[in-house]
Every structure is written in structure tokens, then in C-alpha cells.
Amino acid sequence: MAKRIAGFLAAGLFLVAVVGTSRADDQKDIQGTWKIEKGVKGGEDMPAEEKDKITLEFKDSKVIVHGGGGDKPAELTLDATAKPKTINITPPNDKKEIHGIYELKGDSLTICFAREGGERPKEFKSEQGTQVMLIVLMREKK
């Protein structure tokens, strides 16, 4: 199950390549390594032992999911002018683009996204029986 969740995150995680009118400060502020504070997929909480094994590294216009057998960078784009702010993730290996929303507040980053090719969520929630994932990340201190 950890590999499945890590794969979903890797295929989906998300943000940073500035496109169109996205805010440069969001791109700059997202850089670094983040730990999963909370993860929910289809209404089910991610077990603590699984989320503790995964970190996300935002570097330039890519996100890399470390842990769970991933470590392949995905391309990210964000639009900070949308309400809520949007994120698109282009995973490696020609998989379908992943659409999501995000909220960045200091050292906390919340991302909600649909599985590959799914419809972009409109709210920050993952309901039972859906393929929507909600993650809350905290910046790792250096």
C-alpha cells in the first residue's frame, strides 16, 4: 500500500514551474523539502508509518517524491491567480496530467488533486469512494 500511495503522490505531486500569470513568490516559497503531516485518499487516512517514509522535494520547476520507490521528477505548473490556486503535474513516462489545487501558508502547504486525467477538485477534501487525494505538508527545517 505504501508503494501505491507513493506512486500516486509521485504521479501527482505537484508545483512550481511558473506559467502565465502565476506568482513568482509562490514558486520561490515552495522550494525545499516537505514532510507529509496528513494524507487522505478516498476518505481514508494515510497510516503514520507510510507517511513518515515519504518526503517531497520542490526544486526549480519540478517535484521529486522520495521514498516508496519513486524519485523521478515530475514537471509542475501553478496558477496563483485562480481561486483556489491551481496546480498541474506532468508525471514522467507520458502519463496523463494531474490536476489539483493548492494553498501555501508559511511553512504549511496543502494540496488536493485527482488521479491521472481526473477532474480538478474544487475544495480541499477527499471524500469516501473518490480518487481524490488531500495532503498537508510541513516544510523540513534545515
Q: What is the pLDDT of residues 63-95, one digit of tens each?
A: 898 986 667 789 988 899 899 999 988 888 777
Among 15, 1, 11, 2, CA closest to 137:
15
More confidently predicted of 9 and 125 = 125
What angle is formed at CA 53 by the lines to CA 48 and CA 55, rounded to 5 degrees? 110
Mean pLDDT of the chain: 82
pTM of structure = 0.80
Is residue 35 pLDDT above 50, yes or no?
Answer: yes
